[in-house]
Structures are given as C-alpha cells and as structure tokens.
C-alpha cells in the first residue's frame, strides 16, 4: 500500500512487467528514453493509433510508475521514471543470480 523504491512486491513488479508487455508501449517508452518530457500529441506521431489510444497506453504506464505525468499549460507531458525500470532490472538480476547459482551447483556436482 506504500510502494516506495525499497519495497518491491511481487504484484508491483508484475504490474511493471505488464506495463512493458505491449509493443506500442515499448515503442513509446523507447522515445521517452531521451530523458526529456513529451506531450501526448507529440508521442502520437509515428504510432499508427489514435491520440486516445496513446493516452490510454501512457495511463497504463503511469499507473505502474514507469512514467510520470505533468501538466504544462494546455499540454500533458510524460517523462520516464527511471527508478521503476531499475526495479524491474533488479528483479531479473536476482532471478538470474538464482539460476546461475543453481547451474553452478549442478556443474560442480556433475564434474567433481
């Protein structure tokens, strides 16, 4: 209920991965990786879908805290929220560690 950077719940990480689990959203995310903030109509350019469609995708990523929203004048600008992606990375890193260890144990068991 109070998801900060240190508290990484399974449900929280799952929500982040779900937010990344769409090709359109990954494309949007790639464009946000320049570190700057972009308006919705700006982000709609190049995608084959409508502005409302893009807006929905951005909302999904915002709920998962992958991006952040900011109202500037008459436009809503979205920016990458890097900490959340970092969480996802850390999660995968830990998983990799685990099976790396398992593999190592398996190897030493077989070869020695």
Binding-site ranges for DNA (CB under 7 A): 21-22, 24, 39-42, 48-53, 55-57, 60, 69, 71-77
Is-contact 37 43, C-beta < 8 A?
Answer: no
- Among DNA, a copy of itself, none, the one that 73 touches (CB under a kind-dependent 5 to 8 A) is DNA
Phi and psi at residue 70, to the nearest 5°: -150, 130
- Among DNA, a copy of itself, none, the one that 66 touches (CB under a kind-dependent 5 to 8 A) is none
And the tokens for 13? 């990480």
Shortest distance in whole angstroms from residue 73 CB to DNA: 2
How far apart CA 102 and CA 49 sit, in angstroms, is 45
For a copy of itself, the binding residues in 22-51 under the rule CB under 8 A are 22-23, 25-27, 29-30, 33-36
And the tokens for 43? 């982000």
- Among a copy of itself, DNA, none, the one that 39 touches (CB under a kind-dependent 5 to 8 A) is DNA
Nearest of 25, 31, 30, 24 to residue 48 by alpha carbon: 24
């Amino acid at each position: 209920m109070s998801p900060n950077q240190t508290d990484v719940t399974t449900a929280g990480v799952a929500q982040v991965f779900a937010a990344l689990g769409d090709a359109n959203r990954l494309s949007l995310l790639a464009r946000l990786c320049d570190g700057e903030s972009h308006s919705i109509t700006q982000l709609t350019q190049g995608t084959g879908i409508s502005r409302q469609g893009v807006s929905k995708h951005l909302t999904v990523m915002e709920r998962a805290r992958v991006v952040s929203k900011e109202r500037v004048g008459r436009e809503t600008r979205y920016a990458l929220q890097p900490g959340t992606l970092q969480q996802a990375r850390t999660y995968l890193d830990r998983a990799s560690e685990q099976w790396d260890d398992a593999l190592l144990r398996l190897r030493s068991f077989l070869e020695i």
